[in-house]
Amino acid sequence: MSTPSAAPEVTAPASGDGSGLVLKDVYRVFPGNITAVENANLHVENGEYVTLLGPSGCGKTTTLRMIGGHDEPSSGTISLDGQVLNGVEPSKRPVTTVFQHFALFPHRSVLQNVAFGLKMRGIDKAEREKTAGDAIDMVGLGTMKQRKPRELSSGQQQRVALARVLVTRPKAILLDEPFGDLDRLLQLRMRVELRALQRDLGITFIHVTHNQEEALSMSDRIVVMNDGLIQQTGTPTELARFPKNVFVARFMGDNNTVRGPIESVDGDTITIRGPHVAARVKGTGTVGDEAAMTVRASTVEVVQGAPAVSEPNTALARLNFAEYLGDSVKLHLEVAGEPFTAKVAETRYAEMRDIESGDVTVRWNVEDGHVLEL
């Protein structure tokens, strides 16, 4: 299988019929000239699971709040299935938010919490308790209808928060770091459950997180943000294999980036002289220009001993630490003082342990690297 020489251009999904959630030229500027969200353009198809991913302060939560109606854009429009949502109150929007710390009503029972949205719509008690009861059963908490939130574990509380939202039959559900309060075991389990739930319901889910592993495992598409700007939008495989720029490459993890002036151009490849290694990669450019490329840790070969020849995509490295991950081994290396990562099969752990603190050669193929935007 040949890998393309550059990341395929990622565009919005093909349907141009105005359906789905559309953010157009959205800005959010706070008093004091703080730009939290800049020029956000996004099209989410109905039924998609989209994750907004980025470090703290990148604007992902602000974006979510603007979609949910808890904040208004400074400029730009947000619309759902053709209906413009700007200026519409949260209660009137067909989207509902699951808050980070669940925001359950502490003085109400589980059943009353879940039935709340229906109560606000004026539905009578018998009917809303039946509907709420069904939703509670669906999330697996059927025996806990009368409990108060403080009598539930975090995982259970989250399911109540979900049920409460589902009952109002929104067109899209927004989740603000839903797994933040859960311990790791629970996080892993909830990923599977939440994704399954979304597939069953067929509703659009928009999920905010800073955890790239979570984003990769759950999403149809991921929107990576930093400093208020959308860096890249794409499927998990696209982001993992073809990050667009240095930030995305580093944020997704397990990438080695090389940045520096172009040393030479050779046919359809260029060689970039980074501070620690020379990297030859498919791409175009002029000698002397600044360029960057990345190569995934899992495609880097590692052999004992120093390199025989000095050539691009090869370097002498010092193995500092062999990290056993259970089903693979992550090698923390150092090339000319710069950190470098490689991933090898689990079976080579003993071998790697022996080499720790010693010298190895790292190398990769030209096709395994790809050029990054600056």
Cβ proximity to other proteins: between 215 and 270 the closer is 215
The smaller minimum CB distance to other proteins, of residues 76 and 180, is found at 180
**Which one of residues 156, 231, 232, 313 is an interface residue with other proteins (CB under 8 A)?**
156
The yes or no reply on residue 226 touching other proteins (CB under 8 A) is no
Position 366 contacts other proteins (CB under 8 A): no
Segment interacting with other proteins, rule: CB under 8 A, options 27-35, 129-137, 237-245, 278-286: 237-245
Give yes or no for a contact between 158 and 166, defined as CB atoms under 8 angstroms apart: no
**Interatomic CA distance for residues 245 and 247, integer angstroms:** 6
Cβ 38 to other proteins, closest distance in Å? 23
Is 124 near other proteins (CB under 8 A)? no
In the complex, the smallest distance separating the C-beta of residue 59 from other proteins, rounded to whole angstroms, is 18
Question: How many CB atoms lie under 10 A from the CB of residue 78?
Answer: 25
Nearer to other proteins, 97 or 198 (CB): 97
Nearest to 175 by CA among 184, 166, 185: 166
Among 37, 104, 291, 322, binds other proteins (CB under 8 A): 104
**Is residue 157 at the binding interface for other proteins, with CB under 8 A as the rule?**
yes
Q: Does 240 bind other proteins (CB under 8 A)?
A: yes
- Report the residue from 107, 126, 200, 347 that binds other proteins according to the rule CB under 8 A: 107
Does position 2 interact with other proteins (CB under 8 A)? The reply is no
Residue 259 sits in the site that holds other proteins (CB under 8 A): no
Interface size with other proteins, residues (CB under 8 A): 61
- Interface with other proteins, residue 74, by CB under 8 A: no
Question: 211 phi and psi, to 5 degrees?
Answer: -100, 110
Who contacts 203 (Cβ-Cβ below 8 Å, separation ≥6)?
47, 170, 171, 172, 173
Q: Considering beta carbons, is residue 9 or 327 the nearer one to other proteins?
A: 327
Binding of other proteins by 301 (CB under 8 A): no
164 lies in the binding site for other proteins (CB under 8 A) = yes
Of residues 21, 22, 58, 152, which one binds other proteins by CB under 8 A?
A: 152
The nearer residue to other proteins, 92 or 286, going by C-beta atoms, is 92
Task: Compute the distance between CA of residue 85 and CA of residue 72 in angstroms, rounded to an integer.
Answer: 10
- Asked if residue 314 binds other proteins (CB under 8 A), the reply is no
Residues 315-344 that bind other proteins (CB under 8 A): 327-328, 332, 339, 341, 343
Contact residues for other proteins, defined by CB under 8 A: 55, 68-70, 89-91, 96-97, 99-101, 103-107, 116-117, 119-121, 150-157, 164, 168, 184-186, 188-189, 191-192, 211-213, 216-217, 236-237, 240-241, 250-255, 298, 327-328, 332, 339, 341, 343
